[in-house]
Amino acid sequence: MNKDQGEHIALITGASAGIGLELTRKLLSENWHVVAVNRSDFPKDDRSIHNAIRRGSLRIYKTDDLSDFASLKLTLDEIKSKEQRIDILFNNAGGSFHELSYSKQGREKHYELMTVVPYIILMELKELISISRLKTVINTSSSALKFTKEFSIEVLEHPKTFRKLIGPYATSKLALSLWTQAIASQLAKDDIKILSVDPGGNNTLRKGKQSGLPILIEVVMKLFFSPPTLGANKLYEGAFGDHHHESGVLLIKGRVVELKFKDQAQNVLERIQAIYEHEFLVS
């Protein structure tokens, strides 16, 4: 447990690769403590990362599958028993899958991992956030949500069709931003701010791993997209930039963007709250 009240502490999910790894590096370089929640290991050849692990400023909590409630519960219980506070929660873990798949709880996996799980993590760690100084939550969203043409809870949980990137992935990111908007006034009672942030176009392709992206997008990504440092900087700006005092908003390219289907925001929040209460808490 970190006992130095002078250090800021960030929790980052998906911290070992891509945007999460670059954000981890950035915060460590600014003398933050980072609590990393990962499925995979950090790069073995990254000296600064491993120095931070030895110093105790980077603390790792491994989980086999964030979308598996049993595994997630064990990880969160360990964090709550060992960490004293969390100044900023970066709900960053995610990914686009190459085919329709389901979580162990029986819901579409994009939705479970990128809509439901961030809410559970927030609820479970809310006390640690509320006793910190910065009291900030950043949910990683995506501009892909603008491609969503239809929206309903039923389609979110059990899609009838599957399209890479602009199907369940985009809809799940929209749902994430919708509940972010809906919960803002509730969190404000504890002085907690929450924003969803689009990290922009980043080349996050990993060798040997199927991306879940259309082939054309993969080619464009390899040739033209920025390295993940761009996304890390966007998430950082969401926490500390021009709009850091706002809550419930979606930021794309540093600007507040109006959400589609915002009339569904409360419905999404109520549904994932029900999942949290009736499935996660009793598991």
What pLDDT, on a 0 to 100 scale, did the predictor assign at position 268? 98
What pLDDT, on a 0 to 100 scale, did the predictor assign at position 1? 37
Neighbour-count burial for 185-199, b at 16+ CB within 10 Å, e otherwise: eebeeeebbbbbbbb
Packing angle between helix 47-55 and helix 18-29, nearest 10 degrees?
Answer: 60
Is residue 264's pLDDT more than 60?
A: yes
- Tell me if 193 is assigned to some domain: yes
What pLDDT, on a 0 to 100 scale, did the predictor assign at position 245? 94
- Tell me if 52 is assigned to some domain: yes
What is the tally of structural domains in the chain?
A: 1
Domain containing residue 105: CATH number:
3.40.50.720
Pairing mode, if any, of strands 33-38 and 250-252? unpaired
What is the mean predicted confidence (pLDDT) over 96-116?
Answer: 94
- Tell me if 4 is assigned to some domain: no
What pLDDT, on a 0 to 100 scale, did the predictor assign at position 211? 60
Look at residues 132, 3, 122 and name the one whose alpha carbon lies nearest to residue 57.
3
State residue 93 phi and psi, 5-degree precision. Answer: -60, 140
Residue range(s) defining the domain that contains residue 170: 9-280
The rounded distance, in Å, linking the Cα atoms of 231 and 113 is: 19
Q: Retrieve residue 258's tokens.
A: 């109006």
What is the mean predicted confidence (pLDDT) over 38-55?
Answer: 95
Higher local confidence (pLDDT), 6 or 67: 67
Q: State the average pLDDT for the chain.
A: 92
Is residue 226's pLDDT more than 90?
A: no
| Per-residue pLDDT tens digits for 121-177 | 999 999 999 999 999 999 999 999 999 999 999 999 999 899 888 899 999 999 999
What is the mean predicted confidence (pLDDT) over 245-262?
Answer: 97
What pLDDT, on a 0 to 100 scale, did the predictor assign at position 5? 52
Is residue 223's pLDDT more than 90?
A: no
- Tell me if 183 is assigned to some domain: yes
- Tell me if 106 is assigned to some domain: yes
Q: How many helices (H) and strands (E) are present in the chain, helices listed first?
A: 10, 8
Least confident range of 58-62, 158-162, 258-262 = 158-162
Is residue 3's pLDDT more than 60?
A: no
For residue 26, the SS3 value is helix
- Tell me if 2 is assigned to some domain: no
Q: How confident is the model at residue 202 (pLDDT cuts 50, 70, 90)?
A: confident
Is residue 212's pLDDT more than 80?
A: no
What pLDDT, on a 0 to 100 scale, did the predictor assign at position 56? 97
